[in-house]
Amino acid sequence: MVPTSTVAEYLDAVASFERAAEQLAATNPVMLSGQEVLGCLHRVETAARKIPAAQHWLTEVSIEQGLHNELGYTSTKELLVDQLRLAGGEAADRVRGARNRAPRQERGSAPGPRLPLVAAAQRDGRISERHAIAIDRAVDKCGRKLPAHQLEPLEEMLVIAAESVTPDDIAALGRKAYETIDPDGAEPSAEDIARQRDLHLGKQRDDDLMSTLEGCLAPEARALVDTVMDKLARPGVNNPADADNPVDIDDPDAIANAAKRDKRTAGQRRHDALAAALRAGIASGILGQHRGLPCIPIITLGIDQLESHTGIATTATGGRLPVPDALAMMGGNPKYVLLLDLAARPLFLGREKRLATADQRIALYGSEKGCTAPGCDAPATRCQVHHITEWADGGRTDITTLTLACDKHHGKVVPGKDQIRRGFETVVLPDHNQYPGRTGWRRTADPAGDYRVNHTHHTHELYQQAQEHHRQRHQAYADAWRAEDERALYRDLVGTIHDDIAAILDGPNGPPTLETLLSEHDDDNHWRTEPPWPMDAAGHRDAA
**Residues making contact with Zn ion (CB under 5 A):** 371, 373, 376, 378, 406, 409
Which residues lie closer than 8 Å to 424 by C-beta, 6 or more apart?
Answer: 72, 373, 409, 412, 413, 414, 441, 442, 443, 444
CB of 471 to Zn ion, least distance (A): 31
CB of 383 to Zn ion, least distance (A): 7
CB of 88 to Zn ion, least distance (A): 13
CA dihedral 377, 380, 381, 382 (to 10 degrees): 40
E-strand spans in 188-311?
198-201, 213-216, 289-290, 293-294, 299-302
CB of 376 to Zn ion, least distance (A): 3
CB of 388 to Zn ion, least distance (A): 14
Contact 383, 420 (CB under 8 A): no
Q: What is the C-alpha to C-alpha distance for residues 61 and 55, in angstroms, rounded to an integer?
A: 10
Output 114 or 457, the one with its CB closest to Zn ion. 457
Which residues lie closer than 8 Å to 257 by C-beta, 6 or more apart?
Answer: 236
For 212, which DSSP code? -
For residue 174, give the H/E element and its range: helix 167-181
Output 92 or 329, the one with its CB closest to Zn ion. 92
Q: What is the C-alpha to C-alpha distance for residues 276 and 233, in angstroms, rounded to an integer?
A: 9
Output 424 or 481, the one with its CB closest to Zn ion. 424
CB of 445 to Zn ion, least distance (A): 17
CB of 303 to Zn ion, least distance (A): 29
Output 159 or 406, the one with its CB closest to Zn ion. 406
Output 457 or 528, the one with its CB closest to Zn ion. 457
CA dihedral 76, 77, 79, 81 (to 10 degrees): 170
Of 320, 318, 322, residue with least CA distance to 306: 322
State the angle between helix axes of 116-123 and 34-65 in degrees (0 to 180), rounded to the nearest 10.
130
Output 273 or 371, the one with its CB closest to Zn ion. 371
Output 103 or 423, the one with its CB closest to Zn ion. 423
Cβ-based neighbour number of residue 413 at 10 Å: 19
CB of 389 to Zn ion, least distance (A): 19
Output 133 or 371, the one with its CB closest to Zn ion. 371
- Greatest Cα-to-Cα distance within the chain, rounded to the nearest angstrom: 91
